[in-house]
């Protein structure tokens, strides 16, 4: 609540915008706030609203203006933040390939970064240079960057740099080149999605503007007809139109605050991890048995439905009661299926990212050791599936069955073919394994694209649904206005008849 209230402080709003790397003055605020209020006033005036209703709308506009301005700059900040990440990731790998020393790579890449990334890299360098007692100095220094930019690609790059620095690995070029291919593919996909996100935002905002202007046009066309003059004086019209404009303003606020794209950079946050764990525990328990109460309730509803159909001869109520009985009977099955689908979708999204980490690790580890180590970065469902895999592989180390069976119970279709490749890598060495790893990483790009697309769709599902709201709200407003016009016309006719 305190954070929300601070948004209404012009000083705090300016400070927050400055933190995002944008210049913002009192004049800018007055121009933007004045433009928004002028637009709302024009729409309300053209909609024939009385001044008291216009005043109320302008009051609500004053409340929403800081949210509009903050959300607009926050969206642009997230775009810039992604560009900061691109500057870092696309440069540090080539620099590290030339000279595999972390401190050298950080100093070189610092000059190629800006704003918060520059600050984070600079702090990491100072930590390395000033700290003489920390045995994990490089790891803790790189965590400064990871904290500011919690991104899985940043984590992968740092992990690989630490492995090469600490193990003095000589054979690192191929691994880093494979990692560079993965990073560049991700950058390209995110740039495309940022463009789509911006287009969606603009189209939705235009749609909201069009619905407001169409309502103004509707009022103008009908008020210009002498039969409908005066219908806008109806208090119901004044109230419904004010609510309509206010609802469109709320939709605009939700569009601006939700389409920020923060999840594209912060892809290691786990806000839904607890929900996923609960769903996975439901799946592990299996379908729950129906209770006696459920059976009795279903039998009572079915019996009453048949009574209504036979005695009362009311088929509609009978069908409704039978549907209710069916839903009660299948409720626990539906719960289990919903939980299974949630876990399946989460694993489909996670598997390509997990496979990417395995692909990068097997240059220094065996396939089995890489899979075992991957538990550190995996979700609860994936960790349990890895434990099942390891138990099977230790029982029969040479069999392909554990690889084929991995995630099979969870119906992750893409897992089987990729796990077969991992099985084949166990008996390959030298140049052949390098080409196979490269092939696996390139092949994994398609799955990563599919995974990221699913996650992006989930993230903007709510906003996509908002696209229907302006049309629905406008349709309701039209129905109310048409009803009021019809009533007004009937009153006019009755007056003429009496005369």
Residue-wise pLDDT for 230-261, tens only, equals: 677 888 888 989 999 999 999 888 888 877 77
pLDDT of residue 471: 86
Residue pLDDT, tens place only, 68-103:
888 888 888 888 888 899 999 999 999 998 888 899
Buried b (16+ CB within 10 A) or exposed e, 148-161: bbebbbbbbbbbbb
> Do the beta carbons of residue 20 and residue 1 sit within 8 Å?
no
Q: How far apart are CA 379 and CA 366, in angstroms?
A: 22
Q: Which residues contact 55 (CB under 8 A, 6 or more apart)?
A: none
pLDDT of residue 225: 66
pLDDT of residue 377: 77
pLDDT of residue 120: 93
Q: How far apart are CA 330 and CA 35, in angstroms?
A: 55
Q: How far apart are CA 180 and CA 160, in angstroms?
A: 11
Q: Which residues contact 348 (CB under 8 A, 6 or more apart)?
A: 412, 414, 450, 451, 454
Under the phi-then-psi rule, with left for phi > 0, alpha for psi from -120 to 50, and beta for the rest, what region is 379? beta
pLDDT of residue 247: 92
Q: How many residues does the chain have?
A: 499
Residue 179's nearest CA partner among 446, 437, 482 is 437
Q: How far apart are CA 145 and CA 125, in angstroms?
A: 10
Q: Which residues contact 69 (CB under 8 A, 6 or more apart)?
A: 13, 17, 29, 32, 33
Which helix (H) or strand (E) element contains residue 488? helix 469-498
DSSP letter assigned to residue 290: P
Give the HSE-up count for residue 432: Cα atoms under 13 Å, Cβ half-sphere. Answer: 7
Residue 179's nearest CA partner among 269, 110, 89 is 89
Q: How far apart are CA 292 and CA 306, in angstroms?
A: 21
Q: What are phi and psi of 101, to 5 degrees?
A: -130, 125
pLDDT of residue 180: 84
Residue 462's nearest CA partner among 282, 313, 260 is 260
Q: Is 230 helix (H, G, I), strand (E, B) or coil?
A: coil
Residue with tokens 């630490």: 162
Q: How far apart are CA 371 and CA 364, in angstroms?
A: 12
CA 394 to mean position of chain CA atoms: 39
pLDDT of residue 118: 92
> Do the beta carbons of residue 263 and residue 223 sit within 8 Å?
no
Question: What is the 3-class SS of 91-113, one letter each residue?
Answer: HHHHHHHHCCCHHHHHHHHHCCC
Residue 358's nearest CA partner among 350, 349, 369 is 369
Task: Divide the 499 residues of the chain into consecutive groups of 10 and give the mean pLDDT of each group.
Answer: 67 78 83 91 90 92 88 84 90 90 92 90 92 86 90 85 72 75 84 82 88 87 69 83 92 83 69 73 80 85 85 83 86 84 83 81 80 83 90 86 86 81 74 67 71 70 75 86 75 56
pLDDT of residue 108: 93
pLDDT of residue 19: 77
Q: Which two tokens stand for residue 40?
A: 């709302």
Q: Which residues contact 363 (CB under 8 A, 6 or more apart)?
A: 171, 172, 174, 175, 434, 437
For residue 81, give Cα distances in angstroms to 1, 86, 194. Answer: 26, 9, 12
CA 418 to mean position of chain CA atoms: 27
């Amino acid at each position: 609540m305190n954070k929300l209230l601070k948004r209404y402080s012009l000083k705090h709003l300016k400070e927050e915008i400055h933190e995002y790397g944008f210049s913002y003055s009192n004049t800018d605020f007055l121009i933007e706030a004045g433009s928004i209020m002028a637009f709302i006033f024009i729409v309300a005036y053209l909609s024939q609203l009385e001044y008291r209703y216009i005043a109320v709308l302008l009051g609500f506009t004053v409340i929403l203006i800081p949210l509009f301005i903050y959300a607009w700059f926050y969206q642009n900040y997230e775009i810039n933040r992604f560009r900061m990440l691109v500057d870092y990731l696309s440069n540090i790998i080539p620099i590290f390939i030339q000279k595999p020393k972390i401190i050298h790579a950080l100093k070189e890449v610092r000059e190629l970064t800006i704003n918060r990334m520059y600050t984070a890299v600079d702090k990491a360098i100072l930590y390395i240079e000033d700290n003489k007692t920390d045995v994990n100095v490089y790891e803790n220094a790189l965590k400064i960057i990871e904290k500011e930019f919690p991104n899985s690609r940043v984590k992968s790059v740092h992990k690989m740099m630490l492995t090469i620095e600490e193990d003095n690995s000589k054979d690192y070029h191929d691994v880093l080149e494979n990692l560079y291919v993965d990073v560049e593919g991700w950058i390209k996909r995110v740039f495309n999605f940022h463009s789509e996100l911006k287009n969606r935002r603009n189209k939705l905002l235009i749609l909201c503007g069009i619905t407001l202007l169409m309502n103004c046009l509707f009022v103008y066309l009908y008020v210009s007809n002498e039969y409908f003059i005066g219908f806008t004086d109806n208090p119901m019209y004044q109230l419904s139109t004010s609510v309509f404009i206010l609802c469109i303003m709320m939709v605009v606020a939700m569009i601006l605050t939700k389409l920020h794209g923060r999840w594209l950079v912060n892809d290691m946050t786990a806000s839904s991890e607890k929900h996923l764990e609960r769903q996975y525990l439901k799946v592990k328990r299996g379908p729950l048995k129906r209770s006696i109460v459920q059976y009795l309730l279903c039998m009572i509803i079915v019996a009453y439905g048949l009574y209504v159909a036979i005695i009362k001869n009311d088929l509609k109520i009978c069908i409704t009661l039978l549907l209710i009985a069916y839903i009660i009977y299948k409720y626990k099955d539906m719960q289990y299926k919903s939980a299974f689908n949630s876990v399946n979708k989460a694993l489909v999204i996670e598997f390509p990212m997990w496979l990417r980490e395995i692909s990068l690790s097997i240059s220094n580890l065996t396939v089995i050791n890489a899979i075992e180590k991957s538990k550190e970065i995996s979700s609860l469902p994936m960790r349990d599936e890895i434990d099942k895999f390891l138990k099977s592989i230790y029982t029969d180390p040479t069999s392909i069955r554990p690889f084929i069976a991995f995630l099979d119970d969870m119906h992750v279709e893409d897992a089987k073919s990729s796990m077969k490749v991992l099985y084949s890598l166990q008996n390959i060495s030298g140049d052949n394994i390098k080409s196979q790893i490269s092939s696996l990483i390139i092949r994994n790009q398609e799955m990563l694209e599919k995974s990221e697309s699913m996650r992006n769709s989930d993230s903007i599902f709510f906003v996509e649904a908002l696209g229907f709201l302006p049309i629905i709200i406008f349709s309701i407003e039209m129905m109310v206005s048409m009803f009021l016009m019809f009533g007004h016309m009937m009153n006019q006719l009755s007056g003429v008849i009496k005369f």
